[in-house]
């Protein structure tokens, strides 16, 4: 068991670090110049809080990047990214997303980090297409096929965020581990992989949270979903409160006291920034403009917690 976190997260704009120890730097909003190969730009407008997050390693890195797929690892953890061009999504969204996840899942076992723990998908035109042709639903079909083909059952699904961003194309960001983490589901919510047919032909393949062997709780994008239904349609203030109840229920399900390290709030309407109480969420809180995958959902939060009493 790994007892200490195999990475260090910094939300400083420019931490004093050696570029050789950067697993991945995620930049939201506007940025100048060409990104470094270890930098990922989400394209999500930045509204408040840290604009960059640095996933740093205390130990030397190995670069496993091949072509478009970037992946840097230490002995315990790896962070990577893969872009899907708009042309591929237009030609066949499900197939291009399946191929992207299949590439990631094929590479991981060769790196000593076979477990896909966490994924973030920044998806352009998330609501384009009608009914089951909607881009998000097609994405779910592709992801589901790739995870199933890799032999993963629901327990081994990653925690996830899928969020719409302005502009074209998609970008996948992921975290992989040497050891598996423990899937935690939310007793207030139907597991996403058990959602009924009305939300799409392929239920979303993710778990609500992953509890790592080093005492962190990695929480997926969490919204005002109770059971499988969206609550408080279009009411952002009420959705935020419901979302916080969901986060609290997940922490309780994971056992013990959890201290917030980092939260990201995705708001559909940037004019509603004042509704977000960053103090109450705790830790480093970034607020971004992003479109949650169900149109009636106005807000979503993801979080990273550490077991209280550790540092
Ligand atoms: C929900 O609870 C809200 O498809 O991977 C949140 C996080 C949501 C991840 C995904 C979807 C996903 O169903 C939507």
Residue 239's nearest CA partner among 276, 189, 187 is 276
Using a 6 Å cutoff on CB, does residue 162 contact ligand 1? yes
Active-site entry in 98, 185, 216, 300: 300
Using a 6 Å cutoff on CB, does residue 223 contact ligand 1? yes
pLDDT band of residue 3 (cuts 50, 70, 90) is confident
Residue 283's nearest CA partner among 260, 309, 311 is 260
Q: Secondary structure of 227-258 in the HEC alphabet?
A: ECEECCCCCHHHHHHHHHHHHHHHHHHHCCCE
Q: Which residue lies with its CA nearest to atom 11 of ligand 1?
A: 162
Distance from C-alpha of 297 to C-alpha of 228, rounded to nearest angstrom: 13
Per-residue pLDDT tens over the stretch 179-194: 999 999 999 999 999 9
How many angstroms is it from 148 CA to the middle of ligand 1? 18
pLDDT band of residue 256 (cuts 50, 70, 90) is confident
How many angstroms is it from 189 CA to the middle of ligand 1? 11
Per-residue pLDDT tens over the stretch 35-81: 988 999 999 999 999 999 999 999 999 999 998 999 999 999 999 99
Per-residue pLDDT tens over the stretch 153-176: 999 999 999 999 999 999 999 999
DSSP, collapsed to helix, strand or coil, labels residue 109 as helix
How many angstroms is it from 221 CA to the middle of ligand 1? 6
Does the annotation mark 279 as catalytic?
Answer: no
**CB 109, CB 96: distance < 8 Å:** no
Residue 293's nearest CA partner among 178, 146, 195 is 195
Using a 6 Å cutoff on CB, does residue 136 contact ligand 1? no
Using a 6 Å cutoff on CB, does residue 281 contact ligand 1? no
Structural domains of the chain, ranges and CATH numbers in brackets: 8-220 (3.30.1330.40)
Per-residue pLDDT tens over the stretch 85-125: 999 999 999 999 999 999 999 999 999 999 999 999 999 99
Per-residue model confidence (pLDDT) at position 297 = 98
Q: Which of 138, 160, 196, 210 to mutate to test the pocket of ligand 1 (most atoms within 8 A of CB)?
A: 160
Q: Which of 137, 206, 210 to mutate to test the pocket of ligand 1 (most atoms within 8 A of CB)?
A: 206
């Amino acid at each position: 068991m790994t007892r200490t976190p195999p990475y260090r997260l910094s939300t400083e704009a420019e931490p004093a670090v050696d570029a050789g120890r950067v697993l991945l730097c995620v930049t939201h909003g506007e940025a100048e110049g060409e990104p470094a190969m270890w930098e990922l730009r989400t394209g999500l407008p930045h509204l408040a809080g840290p604009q960059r997050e640095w996933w740093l390693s205390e130990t030397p890195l190995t670069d496993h990047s091949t072509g478009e797929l970037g992946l840097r690892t230490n002995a315990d953890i790896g962070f990577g990214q893969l872009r899907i061009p708009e042309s591929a999504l237009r030609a066949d969204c499900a197939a291009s997303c399946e191929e992207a996840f299949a590439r990631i899942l094929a590479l991981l076992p060769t790196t000593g980090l076979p477990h896909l723990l966490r994924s973030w998908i920044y998806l352009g035109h998330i609501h384009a297409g009608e009914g089951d042709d909607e881009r998000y639903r097609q994405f779910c079909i592709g992801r589901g096929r790739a995870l199933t083909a890799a032999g993963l059952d629901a327990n081994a699904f990653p925690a996830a965020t899928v969020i719409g961003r302005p502009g074209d194309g998609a970008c996948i960001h992921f975290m992989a581990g040497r050891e598996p983490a423990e899937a935690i589901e939310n007793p207030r919510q139907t597991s996403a992989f058990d959602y009924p047919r009305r939300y799409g032909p392929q239920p979303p393949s993710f778990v609500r949270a992953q509890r790592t062997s080093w005492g962190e709780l990695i929480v997926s994008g969490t919204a005002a979903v109770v059971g499988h239904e969206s609550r408080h349609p279009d009411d952002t203030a009420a959705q935020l409160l419901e979302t916080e109840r969901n986060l609290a229920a997940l922490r309780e399900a994971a056992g013990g006291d959890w201290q917030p390290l980092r939260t990201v709030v995705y708001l559909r309407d940037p004019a509603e920034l004042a509704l977000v109480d960053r103090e109450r969420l705790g830790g480093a809180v970034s607020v971004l403009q992003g479109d949650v995958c169900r149109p009636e959902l106005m807000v979503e939060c993801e979080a990273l917690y550490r077991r209280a009493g550790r540092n």
